[in-house]
Structure 1
Amino acid sequence: MTRRCALVTGGSRGIGAAIATELAVTGHRVAVHCRADSTAAKAVLESLPGTGHALVTGDVGAPGAAREIMESAVNQLGAVDVLVNNAGVYAEHPVATTTYEDWQADWRRLVDVNLFGPADLIWHHVEHLQRRLQGAQGARIINVGSRGAYRGEPDAPAYGATKAALHALTQSLAQSLGPLGIAVTAVAPGFVRTDLTEPMLVGPAEEQVSRQSPLGRIAAPTDIAAAVSWLSSAQAEWCSGTVLDVNGASHLR
């Protein structure tokens, strides 16, 4: 039986690394993508169970990078059945206290990475799927959004806006790509404990964040990875178009 292949962007740390690991555990050959930290990405790669995994680099927000990232993954793995758009950036820029120059720079960078990058990768993924002999039947596209798309991000409006747009893109493409056999879904995590967010949990902040969920804890990357892994499975096809809340009931809609 041919093993399915997956490309996970932003796979060198945090949620992306957990997703790459979970997909490898379920039998996928995984292309671990990073923007620049190839040392961290290689460490993730070497920790994955199974064989045949690959390393892919490139800035998803740079023009033309999506083609190179997808081609590198396809060339090394032979195919990409599952695309996980996890790479993203976050920046605080309250409108009342941010200079116009910084406001513009933050908006453009976040739109480039959080929206244009995933959209471009999806285009190249679909092109790849249509060209291969076995077609696109059973393929998956999974976008990592955020609960901030729904509850708002007052200090990071571009982040909330780009994640909301990514959710909308997910639902639009679920309708247009369904006839090809491609299921498109998204997950909307809440606060997740990673090496990047750990500095935000100093002192009383940790308890405050824990209280956001009635479960009384902070999410681990594996909580998100488990949901993504299930959405990549054949059993989850009928969830196409779904934006799955993975936030421990910290935000309900």
Structure 2
Amino acid sequence: MEFPATGRRVLITGASRGLGRAAAHAFAANGDLVAVHYGTREDDARHTLAALPGSGHVLVGGDLSDPAVAAEVAGRAADGLGGIDVLVNNAAVMRGPHSLPGTPYEEWVAVWQQHVAVNLLATAQISHLAGRRMIDAGNGGRIVNIGSRGAFRGEPDHPAYGATKAAVHALGQSLAVSLAPYGIGVASVAPGFFETERVADRLSGAEGEAIRAQSPFGRVASPDEIAAAVLWLASPAAEWSSGTVIDLNGASYLRT
């Protein structure tokens, strides 16, 4: 895997805040150029961009679930960075509880369609767009997918989220096999609970103690801890980890 002298060109989807923001900072601090993607949170994304160390980073917005818009996002990122060497598929939705017993059919259908469109299809589409650029450039590359512990242990209150994250893991393993001949490694991480703005109310409320108790460490992860694993999986040293799904859940759920 060869990189330009200016560092890797990294597209991170859903980088306006949370894990995406932490990953953007980790890559930028490593000397890489980052395209900060956002769907709707432009102000947050601009804050992420402004706080990145180094220069040459770019901002790209757009709804990746629309194939035409996804193509525009990939094009603007590649133009702004001079190419794409690394893709981090972080953009995702996790809508409110939608357990089967408690959700009307019409709402159930709408929630599933949204999760599939954003979490799975958008990931597949931007992976194709970035992956083809990596193949054409002939320098190898990396794709790192953000999955979830919920893909393995189940998400009874958020089944569409758990199912689409399981599909993202499977997609990554399929791409790992098909892209290896081009020097492109593909891997996924499966985080457990970690601190983000989205879950701050849950962690500070009555539910917080029970959530922290899921791990024998008695806490949840920080976004920086997850971002550190993403950064390593995108490194040249991680080629032999292609196809893996790394659990990052503080021993809160152990797969066999």
TM-score using structure 1 length? 0.96
Q: What is the DSSP-based 3-state SS (H/G/I as helix, E as strand, rest coil) of the residue aligned with 1:225?
A: helix
Q: Give distance in 2, aligned partners of 1:177 and 1:50.
A: 31
Contact 2:149–2:247 under 8 Å retained in 1: yes
Q: How big is the shift at 1:40?
A: 0.9
| TM alignment of 1:45-84, pairs within 5 A | 45-84=49-88
- Paired residue for 1:117? 122
Q: What is the DSSP-based 3-state SS (H/G/I as helix, E as strand, rest coil) of the residue aligned with 1:197?
A: helix
Q: Give distance in 2, aligned partners of 1:59 and 1:199.
A: 27
Between 189-198 and 201-210, the greater mean CA deviation after superposition: 201-210
In 2 relative to 1, CA 136–105 (structure 1 residues): closer, same or farther, beyond 3 Å?
A: farther
Contact 2:90–2:145 under 8 Å retained in 1: yes
Alignment of 1:174 onto 2:176: yes
Structure 1: any 5+ residue segments left out of the alignment? none
Q: Deviations over 1:32-75 (max 9, x none)?
A: 00012211111110100111000010111223222111001001
- Paired residue for 1:146? 148
Q: How big is the shift at 1:223?
A: 1.0
> 2:221 is aligned with what amino acid?
A
Structure 2: any 5+ residue segments left out of the alignment? none
Q: Give distance in 1, aligned partners of 2:136 and 2:221.
A: 39
Q: Give distance in 2, aligned partners of 1:58 and 1:83.
A: 16
Between 196-205 and 184-193, the greater mean CA deviation after superposition: 196-205
Q: Deviations over 1:161-195 (max 9, x none)?
A: 00000000111110110001000000000011111
> 2:14 is aligned with what amino acid?
G
Q: Give distance in 2, aligned partners of 1:234 and 1:127.
A: 19
Q: What is the DSSP-based 3-state SS (H/G/I as helix, E as strand, rest coil) of the residue aligned with 1:249?
A: coil
Q: Deviations over 1:123-178 (max 9, x none)?
A: 1112212333xx142x0000000000000000111101000000001111101100
- Paired residue for 2:28? 24
Q: What is the DSSP-based 3-state SS (H/G/I as helix, E as strand, rest coil) of the residue aligned with 2:35?
A: strand
Alignment of 1:228 onto 2:233: no
Alignment of 1:10 onto 2:14: yes
Q: What is the DSSP-based 3-state SS (H/G/I as helix, E as strand, rest coil) of the residue aligned with 1:31?
A: strand
Q: 2:247 aligns with which of 241, 245, 248?
A: 245
Q: Give distance in 2, aligned partners of 1:115 and 1:201.
A: 27
> 1:201 is aligned with what amino acid?
L
> 2:82 is aligned with what amino acid?
G
RMSD over aligned CA atoms reads 1.0
Q: Give distance in 1, aligned partners of 2:111 and 2:51.
A: 34
> 1:67 is aligned with what amino acid?
A
> 2:101 is aligned with what amino acid?
A
> 2:118 is aligned with what amino acid?
V
Q: What is the DSSP-based 3-state SS (H/G/I as helix, E as strand, rest coil) of the residue aligned with 2:78?
A: helix
Alignment of 1:158 onto 2:160: yes
Q: 1:107 aligns with which of 109, 112, 131?
A: 112
> 2:60 is aligned with what amino acid?
V
| TM alignment of 1:90-101, pairs within 5 A | 90-91=94-95, 92-101=97-106
Identity %: 51
Q: Give distance in 2, aligned partners of 1:218 and 1:242.
A: 23
TM-score using structure 2 length? 0.95
